[in-house]
Structure 1
Amino acid sequence: MIGFAVPGTSVLHRMRPGVKLALLAVTVTVVAVLRDPVWLAVAFALACALVPLARLPLREAARQVAPVLWLLAVAVPVHAFFGTWTDAAAMALRILTAVTLAAVFTMTTRVEALLDTVQAALRRVPWIDAERVGLVLALTIRCVPLLAAIVRDVLDARRARGAGGSLRAIAVPVIVRSLRTADAFGEALVARGYDD
């Protein structure tokens, strides 16, 4: 779900990352407490309207939101079975709105700018090492697409060999390659003096 920033000059692109992050937090909090599906549908429509406002490619924005649809395909019927369809619709709209807002945020904000903003805010707290927290955040953000690439490479290799897709046959090489990557990250950090 971590998207890459799409270059642009829209109002959302020009807005400071700290302001956008604060607005995202407030908006998602408001959406989380809303109960009426009608108001949630309005919130979702407004979140969708941010995509053309920011001049983002519709296909790329849809790709950011699409993975959550698989979750909702299972969660909505289960929620309706144990509750009501109204509650299930409210839950689905709440999740779709939050994910859409997060996608717009990540597509209009460079990761470097966001990390700089977080570090600047953390420097005001004397007992937090802002540089190390920034490094951890940067590594976390970098590792998500890296892990996805490892899984994709393993699946491609299995397909090329005509092998089946059992969970163990996929999980073992993914885990081994992930551990090797983690070791390489660790060695790089030790070489730069982050060994404590």
Structure 2
Amino acid sequence: MNTFGVYVPGDSLLHRLPAGAKLLALLVVISATLFVRDPVAALTCAALVCLAYPVSRVGIGHLGTTVVGLLPFLVVILAFQTFTAGWRTAVVLSAQLFTAVVLAGLVTLTTRVADMLELFERLARPLRAFGVRPERVALVLALTIRSVPMALTAWRQAREAYVARGLSRRQHHMVVPVIVSLIRSAEAVGEAISARGLD
């Protein structure tokens, strides 16, 4: 059961890889992209990450959702960095951010939440000696991962509602509905956790 509504069932190689291997690969790839300084190379990395979506058979629609939610931030970063550091730096930084977010989204889409929880709990076990409960750490990390697509979904729903009302040029008015939606989602998650006896 997909409790957090993120995992997309499948049988691709990425789906079958252990959660630990995927997170390690995510860390390695993102770290490697930080050393890229050429705009063409940075954009190539971003394109390759996009190709991983159809290869993993999670659907182009999920890639589109991630890109749409990320686009406003990329535009701001691209404009600011172009003005302060030049277009080459702007393109590289934007491509690096794009690669990191899109790749992290792919890992989330192809990894069961239960597998994530088990991995985080296993990694946090040494902290038990300091009075930390590993299951709490795992739950917090899993909820953090879930919060990213949750925020993107809330923003997309608010945008669609405003476009339907002909208010597409007043996107700053979407902030309050998005915040309210996230608060409601957080309350629902909190109630579910309490109902299961977790504190």
TM range (shorter): 0.7 to 0.9
Aligned 8 A contact 1:3 1:64 in 2: no
1:78 matched to which residue of 2?
Answer: 80
Query: Counterparts in 2 of 1:1-196, with a 5 A limit?
Result: 4-125=6-127, 126-127=129-130, 128-140=132-144, 145=150, 170=176, 174=180, 178=183, 182=187, 185=190, 189=194, 192=197, 194=199
SS in 2 for 1:33: coil
**Counterparts in 2 of 1:32 and 1:68: CA distance versus 1, 3 Å:** same
| Cα deviation, residue 16, structure 1 | 0.2
Aligned 8 A contact 1:79 1:88 in 2: yes
**Counterparts in 2 of 1:68 and 1:188: CA distance versus 1, 3 Å:** closer
| Cα deviation, residue 135, structure 1 | 3.0
**Counterparts in 2 of 1:38 and 1:63: CA distance versus 1, 3 Å:** same
| Cα deviation, residue 33, structure 1 | 2.4
**Counterparts in 2 of 1:170 and 1:37: CA distance versus 1, 3 Å:** closer
| Cα deviation, residue 20, structure 1 | 0.1
Give the partner amino acid of 2:141: L
Gaps of 5+ in 2: 166-170
Aligned 8 A contact 1:147 1:178 in 2: no
**TM score, norm. by length of structure 2:** 0.73
| Cα deviation, residue 32, structure 1 | 1.8
Is the radius of gyration larger for structure 1 or structure 2? Answer: 1
Aligned 8 A contact 2:82 2:89 in 1: yes
CA RMSD of aligned residues (A): 3.9
Q: In structure 2, what is the Cα distance between the partners aligned to 1:180 and 1:97?
A: 27
Deviations 1:111-163 (A, max 9, x none): 121111111111134323201212333454566639966x969x97xx99xxx
SS in 2 for 1:39: helix
Aligned 8 A contact 1:79 1:87 in 2: yes
Give identity over the alignment, percent: 31
Q: In structure 1, what is the Cα distance between the partners aligned to 2:141 and 2:95?
A: 29
**TM score, norm. by length of structure 1:** 0.74
Deviates more, 1:94-103 or 1:5-14: 94-103
**Counterparts in 2 of 1:180 and 1:117: CA distance versus 1, 3 Å:** closer
How many residues are paired up?
185
SS in 1 for 2:34: helix
SS in 1 for 2:90: helix
Gaps of 5+ in 1: none
